[in-house]
Structure 1
Amino acid sequence: MLIVEDLLLLLLDDETGTPAKAGTLPYTLGGAVLVELAMLGRIDADGEGSRLSGPLVTATGDGPLPDPLLQAAWDEIARKPRPVQTLLLAIGGDLWTTVVDRLIAAGQIRREKKRVLGLFRMTQLPSADVAHEAELRRGIRAVLVDGETPDPRTAAIVALLSGSGALPELRPLIAWSGDVYRRAKALESGNWGAAAVGTAVTRTTTAIAAASAAASAAVIVTTVNS
Protein backbone atom coordinates (compact mmCIF):
# COMPACT_ATOMS: atom_id res chain seq x y z
CA MET A 1 0.00 0.00 0.00
CA LEU A 2 1.07 3.56 -0.64
CA ILE A 3 1.82 6.03 2.15
CA VAL A 4 -1.28 8.01 1.15
CA GLU A 5 -3.43 4.88 1.60
CA ASP A 6 -1.97 4.12 5.02
CA LEU A 7 -2.41 7.75 6.04
CA LEU A 8 -6.08 7.91 5.06
CA LEU A 9 -6.72 4.57 6.73
CA LEU A 10 -5.34 6.00 9.98
CA LEU A 11 -7.40 9.17 9.63
CA LEU A 12 -10.72 7.38 9.05
CA ASP A 13 -12.92 6.62 12.04
CA ASP A 14 -13.11 2.82 12.25
CA GLU A 15 -16.90 2.77 12.73
CA THR A 16 -18.14 5.53 10.42
CA GLY A 17 -15.26 6.28 8.09
CA THR A 18 -15.41 9.99 8.90
CA PRO A 19 -11.90 11.41 8.47
CA ALA A 20 -10.15 13.43 11.16
CA LYS A 21 -9.33 17.00 10.08
CA ALA A 22 -11.58 16.62 7.02
CA GLY A 23 -11.17 20.28 6.04
CA THR A 24 -7.41 19.91 5.59
CA LEU A 25 -7.51 16.44 4.02
CA PRO A 26 -6.51 17.49 0.47
CA TYR A 27 -3.28 19.01 1.78
CA THR A 28 -2.48 15.98 3.92
CA LEU A 29 -3.16 13.47 1.13
CA GLY A 30 -1.27 15.56 -1.39
CA GLY A 31 1.64 15.72 1.04
CA ALA A 32 1.66 11.95 1.41
CA VAL A 33 2.01 11.47 -2.35
CA LEU A 34 4.81 14.04 -2.55
CA VAL A 35 6.65 12.34 0.32
CA GLU A 36 6.41 8.96 -1.41
CA LEU A 37 7.82 10.46 -4.60
CA ALA A 38 10.65 12.01 -2.56
CA MET A 39 11.44 8.65 -0.99
CA LEU A 40 11.58 7.12 -4.47
CA GLY A 41 14.02 9.84 -5.52
CA ARG A 42 11.60 11.27 -8.08
CA ILE A 43 11.16 14.83 -6.75
CA ASP A 44 13.30 17.40 -5.01
CA ALA A 45 12.35 20.52 -3.07
CA ASP A 46 15.56 22.48 -3.27
CA GLY A 47 14.44 25.38 -5.44
CA GLU A 48 13.89 28.91 -4.23
CA GLY A 49 10.37 29.72 -3.10
CA SER A 50 8.59 32.13 -0.86
CA ARG A 51 8.32 31.80 2.90
CA LEU A 52 4.56 31.24 2.66
CA SER A 53 4.38 28.89 -0.31
CA GLY A 54 7.51 26.86 0.46
CA PRO A 55 10.36 25.78 -1.83
CA LEU A 56 9.89 24.89 -5.47
CA VAL A 57 9.34 21.21 -6.19
CA THR A 58 10.89 19.72 -9.32
CA ALA A 59 10.46 16.30 -10.91
CA THR A 60 13.63 14.20 -11.08
CA GLY A 61 14.59 10.90 -12.60
CA ASP A 62 12.92 9.13 -15.49
CA GLY A 63 11.13 5.93 -16.33
CA PRO A 64 7.69 4.69 -15.24
CA LEU A 65 6.69 4.71 -11.59
CA PRO A 66 5.33 1.57 -9.89
CA ASP A 67 1.81 2.92 -9.35
CA PRO A 68 -0.53 4.92 -11.61
CA LEU A 69 -1.45 7.30 -8.78
CA LEU A 70 2.21 8.18 -8.28
CA GLN A 71 2.75 8.43 -12.04
CA ALA A 72 -0.13 10.89 -12.42
CA ALA A 73 1.27 13.05 -9.62
CA TRP A 74 4.79 12.97 -11.07
CA ASP A 75 3.46 13.93 -14.50
CA GLU A 76 1.70 16.93 -12.91
CA ILE A 77 4.91 18.02 -11.19
CA ALA A 78 6.97 17.48 -14.36
CA ARG A 79 4.89 20.08 -16.22
CA LYS A 80 6.75 22.86 -14.39
CA PRO A 81 8.40 23.47 -10.99
CA ARG A 82 5.89 24.81 -8.48
CA PRO A 83 5.88 25.68 -4.78
CA VAL A 84 5.02 22.92 -2.32
CA GLN A 85 1.91 24.77 -1.15
CA THR A 86 0.49 24.94 -4.68
CA LEU A 87 1.21 21.29 -5.43
CA LEU A 88 -0.41 20.02 -2.23
CA LEU A 89 -3.83 21.11 -3.45
CA ALA A 90 -3.18 20.41 -7.13
CA ILE A 91 -2.36 16.78 -6.32
CA GLY A 92 -4.49 16.22 -3.24
CA GLY A 93 -7.65 18.06 -4.26
CA ASP A 94 -9.35 15.03 -5.87
CA LEU A 95 -7.52 12.22 -4.07
CA TRP A 96 -10.20 11.43 -1.47
CA THR A 97 -12.42 9.47 -3.86
CA THR A 98 -9.51 7.72 -5.55
CA VAL A 99 -7.89 6.57 -2.30
CA VAL A 100 -11.20 5.51 -0.74
CA ASP A 101 -11.92 3.35 -3.81
CA ARG A 102 -8.46 1.81 -3.54
CA LEU A 103 -8.92 1.02 0.15
CA ILE A 104 -12.26 -0.63 -0.61
CA ALA A 105 -10.70 -2.68 -3.42
CA ALA A 106 -7.92 -3.73 -1.04
CA GLY A 107 -10.48 -4.93 1.53
CA GLN A 108 -9.37 -2.40 4.17
CA ILE A 109 -12.72 -0.57 4.41
CA ARG A 110 -16.22 -1.14 3.05
CA ARG A 111 -18.95 1.18 1.80
CA GLU A 112 -22.29 1.02 3.62
CA LYS A 113 -25.43 2.97 2.77
CA LYS A 114 -27.76 3.66 5.68
CA ARG A 115 -30.86 5.66 6.50
CA VAL A 116 -30.86 8.03 9.45
CA LEU A 117 -34.20 8.30 11.26
CA GLY A 118 -35.63 6.27 8.40
CA LEU A 119 -35.46 9.32 6.12
CA PHE A 120 -31.98 10.49 5.18
CA ARG A 121 -29.56 8.40 3.17
CA MET A 122 -25.92 8.45 4.22
CA THR A 123 -22.79 6.55 3.26
CA GLN A 124 -20.36 5.23 5.84
CA LEU A 125 -16.91 3.73 5.36
CA PRO A 126 -16.23 1.43 8.36
CA SER A 127 -13.16 -0.77 8.66
CA ALA A 128 -13.32 -4.16 6.97
CA ASP A 129 -9.93 -5.58 7.98
CA VAL A 130 -8.33 -4.12 11.10
CA ALA A 131 -5.08 -6.10 11.03
CA HIS A 132 -3.07 -3.80 8.77
CA GLU A 133 -4.26 -0.62 10.47
CA ALA A 134 -3.57 -2.10 13.90
CA GLU A 135 0.02 -2.82 12.81
CA LEU A 136 0.40 0.78 11.63
CA ARG A 137 -0.86 2.07 14.96
CA ARG A 138 1.49 -0.22 16.88
CA GLY A 139 4.41 1.17 14.90
CA ILE A 140 3.40 4.76 15.60
CA ARG A 141 2.87 4.07 19.29
CA ALA A 142 6.26 2.34 19.56
CA VAL A 143 7.97 5.41 18.10
CA LEU A 144 6.06 8.13 19.95
CA VAL A 145 5.36 6.49 23.31
CA ASP A 146 8.19 3.97 23.67
CA GLY A 147 10.83 6.05 21.90
CA GLU A 148 11.80 3.42 19.33
CA THR A 149 13.73 4.50 16.24
CA PRO A 150 11.30 4.62 13.31
CA ASP A 151 11.79 3.18 9.87
CA PRO A 152 11.63 5.87 7.13
CA ARG A 153 8.02 5.07 6.20
CA THR A 154 6.76 5.36 9.79
CA ALA A 155 8.79 8.54 10.29
CA ALA A 156 7.15 10.05 7.18
CA ILE A 157 3.63 9.06 8.30
CA VAL A 158 4.14 10.53 11.77
CA ALA A 159 5.58 13.72 10.25
CA LEU A 160 2.51 14.13 8.04
CA LEU A 161 0.07 13.36 10.86
CA SER A 162 1.86 15.84 13.11
CA GLY A 163 1.89 18.51 10.42
CA SER A 164 -1.84 18.06 9.76
CA GLY A 165 -2.70 18.37 13.46
CA ALA A 166 -4.53 15.03 13.35
CA LEU A 167 -2.10 13.05 15.51
CA PRO A 168 -3.93 13.66 18.83
CA GLU A 169 -7.18 12.43 17.24
CA LEU A 170 -6.00 8.94 16.27
CA ARG A 171 -8.11 6.14 17.71
CA PRO A 172 -7.33 4.52 20.03
CA LEU A 173 -5.86 7.64 21.56
CA ILE A 174 -2.15 7.86 22.23
CA ALA A 175 -1.29 8.75 25.82
CA TRP A 176 -0.35 12.35 25.04
CA SER A 177 2.65 13.79 26.88
CA GLY A 178 5.47 16.25 26.46
CA ASP A 179 7.76 13.48 25.23
CA VAL A 180 5.21 12.31 22.64
CA TYR A 181 4.76 15.87 21.40
CA ARG A 182 8.50 16.48 21.13
CA ARG A 183 9.12 13.20 19.29
CA ALA A 184 6.36 13.97 16.81
CA LYS A 185 7.66 17.49 16.20
CA ALA A 186 11.23 16.19 15.79
CA LEU A 187 10.07 13.85 13.01
CA GLU A 188 7.98 16.63 11.47
CA SER A 189 11.10 18.82 11.33
CA GLY A 190 13.14 16.08 9.62
CA ASN A 191 15.09 14.79 12.60
CA TRP A 192 14.80 11.09 11.71
CA GLY A 193 18.11 9.99 13.18
CA ALA A 194 19.06 6.52 12.00
CA ALA A 195 15.90 6.42 9.89
CA ALA A 196 17.19 9.12 7.53
CA VAL A 197 17.24 7.95 3.94
CA GLY A 198 19.22 10.86 2.56
CA THR A 199 19.46 14.59 3.00
CA ALA A 200 17.32 15.30 -0.08
CA VAL A 201 14.49 13.08 1.15
CA THR A 202 14.38 14.47 4.69
CA ARG A 203 14.69 18.04 3.39
CA THR A 204 11.80 17.49 0.99
CA THR A 205 9.68 15.73 3.61
CA THR A 206 10.30 18.56 6.07
CA ALA A 207 9.23 21.14 3.47
CA ILE A 208 6.09 19.16 2.67
CA ALA A 209 5.15 18.70 6.34
CA ALA A 210 5.71 22.40 7.00
CA ALA A 211 3.58 23.41 4.00
CA SER A 212 0.85 20.98 5.05
CA ALA A 213 0.88 22.39 8.58
CA ALA A 214 0.68 25.96 7.27
CA ALA A 215 -2.17 25.08 4.93
CA SER A 216 -4.04 23.25 7.68
CA ALA A 217 -3.66 26.20 10.04
CA ALA A 218 -4.93 28.57 7.37
CA VAL A 219 -7.99 26.41 6.73
CA ILE A 220 -8.77 26.22 10.45
CA VAL A 221 -8.44 29.99 10.90
CA THR A 222 -10.64 30.65 7.88
CA THR A 223 -13.27 28.22 9.20
CA VAL A 224 -13.29 29.80 12.66
CA ASN A 225 -13.52 33.33 11.30
CA SER A 226 -16.23 32.61 8.73
Structure 2
Amino acid sequence: MSRLAENLVLLLLDDATGRSTVDTGRRYRAVGSAVLLDLVRAGRVTIAAADDAREARVQVVDAAPTGDPALDTALGKLAPKPLKVGWAAENLGHDCWQPLLELLAADGAIRQQEQRVLGLLKTTTWPAGDGTRERVVREAITTALHGAEPDEETGVLITILHGIGAVPGADNEATRARAAQIAKTGWAAGPLRDAFHGLGTAQLVTLFAAS
Protein backbone atom coordinates (compact mmCIF):
# COMPACT_ATOMS: atom_id res chain seq x y z
CA MET A 1 0.00 0.00 0.00
CA SER A 2 1.25 3.49 -0.87
CA ARG A 3 0.57 4.71 2.67
CA LEU A 4 3.49 7.13 3.07
CA ALA A 5 2.92 8.69 -0.33
CA GLU A 6 -0.84 8.99 0.20
CA ASN A 7 -0.37 10.67 3.57
CA LEU A 8 2.19 13.05 2.09
CA VAL A 9 -0.23 14.03 -0.68
CA LEU A 10 -2.86 14.83 1.96
CA LEU A 11 -0.37 17.10 3.70
CA LEU A 12 0.49 18.90 0.45
CA LEU A 13 -3.10 19.66 -0.56
CA ASP A 14 -4.95 22.73 0.68
CA ASP A 15 -8.12 21.42 2.33
CA ALA A 16 -10.32 24.23 1.03
CA THR A 17 -9.02 24.83 -2.50
CA GLY A 18 -7.88 21.29 -3.26
CA ARG A 19 -4.68 22.60 -4.83
CA SER A 20 -1.05 21.83 -4.07
CA THR A 21 0.51 24.11 -1.48
CA VAL A 22 4.01 23.77 -3.02
CA ASP A 23 5.33 24.15 -6.56
CA THR A 24 5.42 21.12 -8.84
CA GLY A 25 9.18 20.60 -8.63
CA ARG A 26 9.21 20.24 -4.86
CA ARG A 27 5.94 18.30 -4.91
CA TYR A 28 7.13 15.67 -7.35
CA ARG A 29 10.49 15.15 -5.63
CA ALA A 30 8.79 14.77 -2.25
CA VAL A 31 5.98 12.47 -3.40
CA GLY A 32 8.36 10.37 -5.49
CA SER A 33 10.59 9.92 -2.47
CA ALA A 34 7.63 8.68 -0.45
CA VAL A 35 6.65 6.27 -3.23
CA LEU A 36 10.17 4.84 -3.24
CA LEU A 37 10.02 4.35 0.50
CA ASP A 38 6.66 2.60 0.17
CA LEU A 39 8.25 0.26 -2.37
CA VAL A 40 11.14 -0.41 0.00
CA ARG A 41 8.71 -1.22 2.77
CA ALA A 42 6.82 -3.57 0.44
CA GLY A 43 10.04 -5.41 -0.38
CA ARG A 44 9.86 -4.47 -4.06
CA VAL A 45 13.01 -2.36 -4.40
CA THR A 46 16.37 -1.95 -2.72
CA ILE A 47 18.71 1.04 -2.70
CA ALA A 48 22.32 0.38 -3.67
CA ALA A 49 24.62 2.82 -1.85
CA ALA A 50 27.51 4.66 -3.44
CA ASP A 51 30.36 6.80 -2.10
CA ASP A 52 28.53 9.81 -3.53
CA ALA A 53 24.93 9.69 -2.25
CA ARG A 54 23.74 11.18 -5.53
CA GLU A 55 24.93 8.04 -7.32
CA ALA A 56 22.82 5.64 -5.21
CA ARG A 57 20.51 3.63 -7.42
CA VAL A 58 17.12 1.96 -7.11
CA GLN A 59 17.05 -1.73 -7.97
CA VAL A 60 13.75 -3.57 -8.49
CA VAL A 61 13.80 -7.00 -6.83
CA ASP A 62 10.15 -7.92 -7.40
CA ALA A 63 8.21 -6.35 -10.28
CA ALA A 64 5.03 -8.40 -9.81
CA PRO A 65 1.85 -6.27 -9.58
CA THR A 66 1.00 -5.09 -6.09
CA GLY A 67 -2.63 -4.21 -6.76
CA ASP A 68 -1.88 -0.61 -5.75
CA PRO A 69 -2.17 1.68 -8.82
CA ALA A 70 0.48 4.12 -7.61
CA LEU A 71 3.04 1.47 -6.70
CA ASP A 72 2.42 -0.48 -9.90
CA THR A 73 2.91 2.71 -11.93
CA ALA A 74 6.22 3.23 -10.13
CA LEU A 75 7.37 -0.34 -10.69
CA GLY A 76 6.66 -0.02 -14.39
CA LYS A 77 8.91 3.03 -14.53
CA LEU A 78 11.70 1.47 -12.46
CA ALA A 79 11.78 -2.11 -13.78
CA PRO A 80 13.81 -1.73 -17.01
CA LYS A 81 17.11 -0.75 -15.32
CA PRO A 82 18.55 0.63 -12.05
CA LEU A 83 17.98 4.39 -11.79
CA LYS A 84 19.60 7.08 -9.67
CA VAL A 85 17.47 7.75 -6.61
CA GLY A 86 17.09 11.48 -7.26
CA TRP A 87 16.04 10.99 -10.88
CA ALA A 88 13.68 8.18 -9.90
CA ALA A 89 12.02 10.26 -7.18
CA GLU A 90 11.33 13.23 -9.45
CA ASN A 91 9.87 11.09 -12.22
CA LEU A 92 7.84 8.85 -9.93
CA GLY A 93 6.34 11.88 -8.23
CA HIS A 94 5.12 13.12 -11.59
CA ASP A 95 3.77 9.74 -12.76
CA CYS A 96 2.20 8.72 -9.46
CA TRP A 97 0.54 12.02 -8.49
CA GLN A 98 -2.73 11.30 -10.31
CA PRO A 99 -3.03 7.64 -9.13
CA LEU A 100 -2.44 8.80 -5.56
CA LEU A 101 -5.15 11.44 -5.85
CA GLU A 102 -7.56 8.84 -7.17
CA LEU A 103 -6.72 6.43 -4.35
CA LEU A 104 -7.38 9.11 -1.76
CA ALA A 105 -10.63 10.07 -3.46
CA ALA A 106 -11.75 6.43 -3.46
CA ASP A 107 -10.93 6.32 0.25
CA GLY A 108 -13.06 9.42 0.85
CA ALA A 109 -10.17 11.49 2.20
CA ILE A 110 -10.47 14.02 -0.65
CA ARG A 111 -13.09 14.89 -3.27
CA GLN A 112 -12.63 15.34 -7.01
CA GLN A 113 -14.08 18.69 -8.01
CA GLU A 114 -14.23 20.02 -11.55
CA GLN A 115 -14.82 23.63 -12.47
CA ARG A 116 -14.28 25.99 -15.39
CA VAL A 117 -12.13 29.11 -15.34
CA LEU A 118 -13.83 32.03 -17.11
CA GLY A 119 -16.37 29.49 -18.31
CA LEU A 120 -13.84 27.91 -20.67
CA LEU A 121 -10.84 26.09 -19.20
CA LYS A 122 -11.81 23.05 -17.15
CA THR A 123 -9.72 22.43 -14.04
CA THR A 124 -9.79 19.67 -11.43
CA THR A 125 -9.13 20.25 -7.76
CA TRP A 126 -9.09 17.88 -4.80
CA PRO A 127 -10.52 19.51 -1.64
CA ALA A 128 -10.77 17.63 1.64
CA GLY A 129 -13.41 15.00 2.18
CA ASP A 130 -13.48 13.01 5.39
CA GLY A 131 -10.68 14.67 7.35
CA THR A 132 -10.12 11.86 9.86
CA ARG A 133 -7.07 10.35 8.22
CA GLU A 134 -5.30 13.65 7.63
CA ARG A 135 -6.12 14.79 11.16
CA VAL A 136 -4.43 11.72 12.66
CA VAL A 137 -1.31 12.28 10.53
CA ARG A 138 -1.12 15.98 11.37
CA GLU A 139 -1.59 15.33 15.07
CA ALA A 140 1.31 12.86 15.06
CA ILE A 141 3.51 15.41 13.29
CA THR A 142 2.52 18.22 15.66
CA THR A 143 3.19 16.03 18.70
CA ALA A 144 6.65 15.15 17.36
CA LEU A 145 7.45 18.77 16.55
CA HIS A 146 6.60 19.64 20.17
CA GLY A 147 9.17 17.20 21.49
CA ALA A 148 7.67 13.71 21.44
CA GLU A 149 9.65 10.89 19.86
CA PRO A 150 8.13 10.25 16.40
CA ASP A 151 7.44 6.80 15.06
CA GLU A 152 9.36 5.96 11.91
CA GLU A 153 6.60 6.94 9.49
CA THR A 154 6.07 10.32 11.16
CA GLY A 155 9.82 10.91 11.20
CA VAL A 156 10.06 10.18 7.48
CA LEU A 157 7.19 12.53 6.67
CA ILE A 158 8.77 15.31 8.71
CA THR A 159 12.13 14.69 7.00
CA ILE A 160 10.61 15.05 3.55
CA LEU A 161 8.50 18.08 4.50
CA HIS A 162 11.55 19.72 6.08
CA GLY A 163 13.53 19.18 2.90
CA ILE A 164 10.97 21.01 0.75
CA GLY A 165 10.24 23.75 3.28
CA ALA A 166 6.69 22.61 3.99
CA VAL A 167 6.72 21.59 7.66
CA PRO A 168 3.49 22.73 9.38
CA GLY A 169 4.20 25.72 11.62
CA ALA A 170 7.69 26.21 10.17
CA ASP A 171 7.36 29.99 10.52
CA ASN A 172 8.29 29.33 14.16
CA GLU A 173 12.05 29.09 14.79
CA ALA A 174 11.69 26.37 17.43
CA THR A 175 9.56 24.28 15.07
CA ARG A 176 12.13 24.62 12.29
CA ALA A 177 14.89 23.56 14.64
CA ARG A 178 12.94 20.54 15.86
CA ALA A 179 12.11 19.51 12.27
CA ALA A 180 15.78 19.74 11.35
CA GLN A 181 16.70 17.61 14.37
CA ILE A 182 14.19 14.93 13.38
CA ALA A 183 15.43 14.98 9.80
CA LYS A 184 18.94 14.19 11.05
CA THR A 185 18.21 11.70 13.82
CA GLY A 186 14.49 11.05 14.07
CA TRP A 187 14.38 7.86 12.03
CA ALA A 188 17.84 6.46 12.58
CA ALA A 189 16.56 2.93 13.09
CA GLY A 190 13.74 0.77 11.82
CA PRO A 191 12.70 -1.16 8.71
CA LEU A 192 12.93 1.77 6.30
CA ARG A 193 16.25 2.99 7.63
CA ASP A 194 17.71 -0.53 7.58
CA ALA A 195 16.88 -0.88 3.88
CA PHE A 196 19.46 1.70 2.82
CA HIS A 197 22.61 -0.35 3.03
CA GLY A 198 25.46 1.85 4.23
CA LEU A 199 23.82 5.20 3.64
CA GLY A 200 24.18 7.67 6.49
CA THR A 201 21.22 9.73 7.66
CA ALA A 202 22.68 12.89 6.12
CA GLN A 203 22.87 11.14 2.76
CA LEU A 204 19.27 10.02 3.08
CA VAL A 205 18.15 13.58 3.74
CA THR A 206 20.07 14.63 0.61
CA LEU A 207 18.42 11.93 -1.48
CA PHE A 208 14.87 12.08 -0.24
CA ALA A 209 14.30 15.63 0.88
CA ALA A 210 16.42 17.95 -1.25
CA SER A 211 14.55 19.97 -3.82
Alignment of structure 1 residues 70-219 onto 2, 5 Å? 70-115=71-116, 121-145=122-146, 147-167=147-167, 170=168, 173=169, 176-178=172-174, 180-192=175-187, 196-197=190-191, 199-201=193-195, 203=199, 207=203, 209-214=205-210, 216=211
Q: Percent identity?
A: 30
Look up the equivalent residue of 1:157 and give its one-letter code.
L
Q: TM-score, normalised by structure 1?
A: 0.76
Shift of 1:6: 0.7
* Alignment root-mean-square deviation, CA: 3.0
Look up the equivalent residue of 1:44 and give its one-letter code.
T
Shift of 1:111: 2.1
Q: Which moved more, 1:107-116 or 1:28-37?
A: 107-116
Taking structure 1 as reference, are residues 72 and 123 closer, same or farther at Cα in structure 2, changes over 3 Å only?
A: closer
Match of 1:222 in 2: none
Q: TM-score, normalised by structure 2?
A: 0.81
Shift of 1:55: 1.4
Distance 1:156 1:183 in 2: 14
Q: Which runs of 5+ in 1 are unaligned?
A: 217-226
- The answer to whether the 8 Å contact 2:17/2:126 transfers is yes
- The answer to whether the 8 Å contact 1:4/1:33 transfers is yes
Stretches (4+) displaced over 6 A: 117-120
Shift of 1:114: 3.6
Structure 1 residue corresponding to 2:48, chosen from 46, 49, 55: 46
Q: Which runs of 5+ in 2 are unaligned?
A: none
Look up the equivalent residue of 1:192 and give its one-letter code.
W
